[in-house]
Amino acid sequence: MKKLLLLFFLFFSVLIFSQVQNVTYTISPTAFVEDEEIRITVSNLNLTTWGETDAYIWAWSLDTDGGSTIDSPTNGSWVNSDESQKLIDNGNGTYSFVLTPTTFFNRTNIGKIGILVKAKNGDGDKKTQDFIFDVGTFQFTLSTPTETTTIVNSGDNVSVEATSSLMATFVLKANGVIVDTKAEITDYSYSYMVSANTNFILEVTSDTETKSASFSAIVSPTVEELPMPANLVDGINLNPNDPTKATLVLYAPGKEFVHLIGDFNDWQISNEYLLKKDSSKDRFWIELNNLTPQANHLYQYLVEFNLNIADPYSTLVLDGYGNDAFIDEVTYPNIPDYPVGQSDAITVLRTGDPEYNWQNTNFVKPKKDDLVIYELLVRDFDELHSFDAVKNRLDYLQDLGVNAIELMPINEYDGNESWGYNPAFHMALDKYYGTKDALKALIDECHARGIAVIIDVVYNHASGQHPYYRMWNTDNGGSGGQAAADNPFFNQEAKHSYSVFNDFNHQSQATKDYVNRTATYWIEEFKIDGMRWDLTKGFTQNCTPSDENCTNMTQQDRVSVLQEYADTQWASDDDFYIIFEHLGAIEEEEQWADYRMDEGKGILLWNKQTEAYNEATLGFNSTSNFSGVSYNEKGFKQPSALSFMESHDEERLMFKNLEFGNSDGTYNVKDIPTALNRMQTAGAFFFTVPGPKMIWQFGELGYDVSIDDNGRVGNKPIRWEYFADENRKAVYETWAKLIDLKINEPIFETTDFELDFANPSGLKKLHLSIVGATAEEIKYVTIIGNFGVTTQSIIPEFQETGIWYEFLKENLKYVVTDTQATITLAPGEYRIFGDKPTALFPNNNLPDQDHDGVQDADDNCPDTPLGSTVNVNGCLVFTVPSNNFQIKLSDETCSSSNNGSIAITALEDYEYTATLSGGATSSQAFRTSTLFTDLSAGNYTICLSIEGENYSQCYDVVIGEPDALTVSSKMNAKGTTATLSLKGADTFYITVNKKTFTTNSNEVAINLEASENVIHVRTDKDCQGVYEETILLHTSLTIYPNPVVDDVLHVHLNNKNAKEVTITVYSSNGIQVLNTSYPVINSAVELNVSRLSKGIFFMQVNLNNEVLNYKIIK
- The Cα–Cα gap between 530 and 648 comes to 18
- The Cα–Cα gap between 527 and 440 comes to 8
Q: Residues spanned by CATH 2.60.40.3080 within the chain? A: 1034-1114
Q: Residues spanned by CATH 3.20.20.80 within the chain? A: 368-605
Does residue 1 surpass a pLDDT of 80?
Answer: no
Residue 844's pLDDT is 82
Q: What is the mean pLDDT of residues 131-154?
A: 89
**Nearest alpha-carbon partner for 430 in 414, 449, 406:** 414
- The Cα–Cα gap between 146 and 144 comes to 5
**Nearest alpha-carbon partner for 60 in 118, 141, 6:** 118
Does residue 11 surpass a pLDDT of 60?
Answer: no
> Angle, to 10 degrees, between the axis of helix 556-572 and the axis of helix 586-593?
20
Does residue 517 surpass a pLDDT of 80?
Answer: yes
In the chain, % of residues over pLDDT 70: 97
> Angle, to 10 degrees, between the axis of helix 653-660 and the axis of helix 672-684?
130
Does residue 6 surpass a pLDDT of 50?
Answer: no
Lowest mean pLDDT among 304-318, 427-441, 828-842, 1058-1072: 1058-1072
Residue type at 20 in one-letter notation? V
Q: Residues spanned by CATH 2.60.40.10 within the chain? A: 141-219, 235-349, 885-959, 962-1031
Does residue 799 surpass a pLDDT of 90?
Answer: yes
Lowest mean pLDDT among 136-145, 149-158, 942-951, 1034-1043: 1034-1043
DSSP string over 782-850: EEEEE-SSS-EEE----SSSEEEEEGGGTTEEEEES-TT--EEE-TT-EEEEESS--TTS---PPP-TT
Residue 524's pLDDT is 98
Q: pLDDT for 213-244, tens place per residue?
A: 999 999 999 999 999 999 999 999 999 999 99
Residue 976's pLDDT is 78
Does residue 1091 surpass a pLDDT of 60?
Answer: yes
| In contact, 317 and 346? CB cutoff 8 Å | yes
Q: What is the mean pLDDT of residues 138-154?
A: 90
At 1107, the pLDDT band (50, 70, 90 cuts) reads low
726-730, 895-899, 976-980, 994-998: range with highest mean pLDDT:
726-730
Q: pLDDT for 153-204, tens place per residue?
A: 999 999 999 999 899 999 999 999 999 999 999 999 999 999 999 999 999 9
- What class does CATH assign to 962-1031? mainly beta
CATH code, 14-137: 2.60.40.1930
Three-class DSSP category at 238: strand
Does residue 708 surpass a pLDDT of 70?
Answer: yes
Residue 18's pLDDT is 46
Residue 119: C-alpha distances to residues 45, 56, 189 (Å): 11, 6, 40
Does residue 2 surpass a pLDDT of 90?
Answer: no
Residue 838's pLDDT is 97
Lowest mean pLDDT among 162-171, 710-719, 966-975, 1075-1084: 966-975
At 377, the pLDDT band (50, 70, 90 cuts) reads very high
Residue 7's pLDDT is 30
CATH code, 609-834: 2.60.40.1180
| In contact, 774 and 782? CB cutoff 8 Å | no
Does residue 96 surpass a pLDDT of 50?
Answer: yes
Does residue 3 surpass a pLDDT of 90?
Answer: no
- The Cα–Cα gap between 394 and 442 comes to 9
| In contact, 542 and 491? CB cutoff 8 Å | no
Does residue 1096 surpass a pLDDT of 90?
Answer: no
Task: Please enumerate in sequence order all residues whose Cβ is within 8 A of that of 734, keeping only pairs 6 or more positions apart, or say none.
Answer: 680, 683, 684, 808
| In contact, 978 and 1031? CB cutoff 8 Å | yes
Residue 865's pLDDT is 79
Does residue 561 surpass a pLDDT of 60?
Answer: yes
Residue 871's pLDDT is 77
Residue 13's pLDDT is 30
Domain 141-219: CATH architecture, name and number where available: Sandwich (2.60)
Does residue 313 surpass a pLDDT of 90?
Answer: yes
Does residue 289 surpass a pLDDT of 50?
Answer: yes
CATH code, 885-959: 2.60.40.10
In the chain, % of residues over pLDDT 90: 75
Q: pLDDT for 12-55, tens place per residue?
A: 333 333 467 889 999 999 889 999 999 999 999 999 888 899 99
Residue 17's pLDDT is 39
At 1036, the pLDDT band (50, 70, 90 cuts) reads low
Three-class DSSP category at 255: coil
Q: pLDDT for 474-516, tens place per residue?
A: 998 999 889 999 999 999 999 999 988 999 999 999 999 999 9
Residue 500's pLDDT is 87
Residue 525: C-alpha distances to residues 250, 351, 404, 439 (Å): 21, 15, 19, 11
Position with higher pLDDT, 951 vs 806: 806
Does residue 1012 surpass a pLDDT of 90?
Answer: no
Mean pLDDT for all residues in the chain: 92
Phi-psi region of 125 (alpha: psi -120 to 50; beta: other; left: phi over 0): left
- The Cα–Cα gap between 168 and 182 comes to 8
Does residue 284 surpass a pLDDT of 50?
Answer: yes
Residue 975's pLDDT is 63
Q: pLDDT for 820-874, tens place per residue?
A: 999 999 999 999 999 999 999 998 887 777 777 778 777 778 888 777 777 777 7
Select 368-605's CATH number: 3.10.50.40, 2.60.40.10, 3.20.20.80, 3.40.50.970.
3.20.20.80
Select 235-349's CATH number: 3.30.420.10, 2.60.40.10, 3.60.140.10, 3.40.50.2300.
2.60.40.10
Residue 1035's pLDDT is 60
Contacts 24+ apart (CB under 8 A), 364-367: 365/452, 365/529, 365/575, 365/577, 366/403, 366/404, 366/450, 366/452, 366/743
DSSP string over 83-116: GGGBPEE-SSS-EEEEE-HHHHHT-S-EEEEEEE
| In contact, 242 and 263? CB cutoff 8 Å | no
Task: Please enumerate in sequence order all residues whose Cβ is within 8 A of that of 748, keeping only pairs 6 or more positions apart, or say none.
Answer: 687, 688, 690, 741, 742, 768, 781
Does residue 8 surpass a pLDDT of 70?
Answer: no
Position with higher pLDDT, 111 vs 249: 249
Signed CA dihedral, 770, 772, 778, 782: sign only: positive
- What class does CATH assign to 1034-1114? mainly beta
- The Cα–Cα gap between 876 and 88 comes to 94
Does residue 365 surpass a pLDDT of 90?
Answer: yes
Three-class DSSP category at 309: strand
